[in-house]
Amino acid sequence: MASLFKDLTKLSAYRDRRFPGNQEEFEQALQTSTTVYIGNMSFYSTEEQVYELFSRAGEIKKIIMGLDKNSKTPCGFCFVLYYSREDTEDAVKFMSGTILDDRPIRVDFDWGFQEGRQWGRGRSGGQVRDEYRTDYDPDILLALSVCSIIDQMVAYLKALSSRKGQVRRGGYGKLVQQE
């Protein structure tokens, strides 16, 4: 089957600074690799979900979840390794923009997975680009508001229980006092 990508020199806008070779070798790797990079994922998406979605493009050899190098938890990207180039191209062509856990994921050709590439390269441990973001995900905002409401409730209950303690101290302490 003819390649779905007419201009193979423009396979990806991303240039990995850590690729061990020159531009020509990088492009050559992109043209032959059977690895795709998935970006803009929710931190809550699981390997099983990725498998379920990306196996629609073809048989998957391996999935490597991208992890925060400090917390060792998913940080929004992963690599999917296929057996065939055709399936790899199908994944990029048909899966890009698919909504996974409320987020439009980005599927990109990748030069090939190597040990170490699963870690976020940002100073805080996650992805570099997340450190430049000034917006927050709606689900993160929701989580923050829920946390804030819970914090306020806990503070209120603590205040209430300490007041109760002052006003009518009872239970075992009261029995001891009465003795």
CA atoms lying within 13 Å on the CB side of residue 140: 7
Measured from the CB of residue 142, what is the shortest distance to ligand GTA in angstroms? 24
Interface with ligand GTA includes 39 (CB under 6 A)? yes
Interface with ligand GTA includes 54 (CB under 6 A)? no
Q: Total binding residues for ligand GTA by CB under 6 A? A: 18
The residue among 58 and 80 lying less far from ligand GTA, judged by its C-beta, is 80
Contact residue for ligand GTA among 16, 40, 42, 124 (CB under 6 A) = 16
Amino acid at site 5: F
Place of tokens 């690599």: 79
Would you give the DSSP letter of residue 52? Answer: H
Interface with ligand GTA includes 132 (CB under 6 A)? yes
**CA 97 – CA 12 distance, rounded (Å):** 15
CA atoms lying within 13 Å on the CB side of residue 74: 18
Interface with ligand GTA includes 69 (CB under 6 A)? no
Q: Which of residues 91-130 bind ligand GTA (CB under 6 A)?
A: 108, 110, 117, 120-122, 127-129
Distance, CA of 144 to chain centre: 18
Contact residue for ligand GTA among 34, 37, 41, 95 (CB under 6 A) = 37
The residue among 85 and 121 lying less far from ligand GTA, judged by its C-beta, is 121
- The answer to whether 34 touches 81, Cβ cutoff 8 Å, is yes
Interface with ligand GTA includes 82 (CB under 6 A)? no
Residues of the shown chain interacting with ligand GTA in the complex, contacts defined by CB under 6 A: 12, 14, 16-17, 37, 39, 66, 77, 108, 110, 117, 120-122, 127-129, 132
